[in-house]
Amino acid sequence: MAGFLISGFLAGVVSYYASSQPDGLEKVAEDLGFIERAEDSPLATSPFADYTVSFLGDARLSTAVAGITGVIATGLIAVGLYLWVRKPQSK
């Protein structure tokens, strides 16, 4: 539970202060000169594209909601997988 709360805090608060510099793949594409051939993903217009919530106007709130939603979704998937693959308890 502590890990979940820490993850939620990091995703909801600290993520807003993350670097705006390009990630590794984007940086290599810029350095090698093929960034202009990049195409948008079909999901580029999805509600959580670019780690924000597209319908919220406030950038800080938008990033926080996207991060917290991601942590909750990941937690639910992890718990669901755990419950699915765990060994049945002997009686």
The pLDDT of residue 46: 83
Give me the domain span that covers residue 34. 2-85
3-class DSSP state of 74: helix
In a domain, 91, yes or no: no
Ranges of the chain whose pLDDT falls below 50: none
Type of residue numbered 12: G
| pTM given for the model | 0.70
What's the domain count of the chain?
Answer: 1
**pLDDT value at position 13?**
87
pLDDT score for 20: 77
Q: Which residues of 32-62 are buried (b: 16+ CB within 10 A; e: fewer)?
A: eeeeeeeeeeeeeeeebeeebbeeeeeeeeb
Q: In this structure, is residue 37 part of a structural domain?
A: yes
Could you tell me if residue 90 is inside a domain? no
C-beta atoms surrounding 66 within 10 Å: 22
CB atoms within 10 A of CB 13: 14
Let me know if residue 68 belongs to a domain.
Answer: yes
